[in-house]
Amino acid sequence: MLLQSHDLTKSFGGLVAVNQLSLKVEKGTILGIIGPNGSGKTTFFNLITGMLPSDSGKVIFNGQEITKLRPHRIARLGVGRTFQIPAPFSKMTVLENVMVSAFLHTSSMKTAKKKAEEVLKKVDLDEKADFQVLNVTLEDRKRLELARALAIEPILLLLDEVMSGLTPVEVKSAINLIKQMHRQGLTIIVVEHVMDVILSLCDRVAVLDYRRKIAEDTPQKIVNHPEVIRAYLGERYRARG
């Protein structure tokens, strides 16, 4: 088991954002997390990466408890994440953005640059390496998010709605990209609203509703799960399963 959360809970004042969430991710698999807006998906990522302190519960990554670790320590252990709304270092070039990640493993400018160029090639962004981030499109910013996360050489990758705002063609190429990274041995958790993405990518799917996990199963079974259909999918998806 690469990642496990036990009864993870987080509330903001009186509002419970994540309620006793227990999830397991097997090494080498892709877990999808779906659920309506406000069901605690992004908060769950923020708890795993240490961006938010949890109220109670535990996170175990690669056999080590990481619940109380600071974010940069968790990143160093091999947890990479992308932000739902791209959060680039705006006044730097695309290449420099990725170099910041590469400095995690090297303090040589040359090595970092080479590493960053490699990663940019992987996400098909190498031609825009010298662009200022301010001058690239949303799709490219999403690719940059991915490149920055990949350049820390993660074992586990958390993707927070990387598809939102992309055109169908762009979504297709993004899916291929994620599949390719998966084949290279990455374990991935995907938060996504686009069901087709979840169906074509994930080995297992967890469904959150009202801050709780209401179901966890294979994609085929999830789309026929009565409570999931009621809470999130709607009748449309039942026939397809």
Helix or strand holding residue 214 (H, E): strand 212-217
Using rule CB under 8 A, residue 237 touches other proteins? no
The residues, ordered by sequence, that sit 6+ positions from 48 with a Cβ below 8 Å of its Cβ are 3, 5, 59, 61, 66, 74, 79, 158
Window 48-67: contact mask with other proteins (x via CB under 8 A): -x-x----------------
96 counts as binding other proteins under rule CB under 8 A: yes
Using CB under 8 A as the binding rule, whether residue 118 contacts other proteins is answered as no
Q: Examine residue 103 and tell whether it contacts other proteins (CB under 8 A).
A: yes
Between the CA of residue 1 and those of 25, 63, 106, 206, what are the distances in Å? Answer: 6, 8, 29, 16
Measured from the Cβ of residue 129, the count of other Cβ atoms closer than 10 Å reads: 18
Q: Which residues ranging from 74 to 93 are in contact with other proteins (CB under 8 A)? A: 75-76, 80-81, 83, 87-93
Q: Cα separation of 33 and 160, whole Å?
A: 10
Stretch of 33-41, 59-67, 73-81, 179-187 contacting other proteins, by CB under 8 A: 73-81
Binding of residue 71 to other proteins (CB under 8 A): yes
Q: Between 68 and 76, name the residue whose CB sits nearer to other proteins.
A: 76
Report the C-alpha gap between 214 and 126 in whole angstroms: 42
Nearest CA among 85, 3, 83 for reference residue 46 = 83
Does position 10 interact with other proteins (CB under 8 A)? The reply is: no
Interface residues toward other proteins, by CB under 8 A: 49, 51, 70-72, 75-76, 80-81, 83, 87-93, 96-97, 99-101, 103-104, 107, 109, 112, 130, 132, 148-149, 151-152
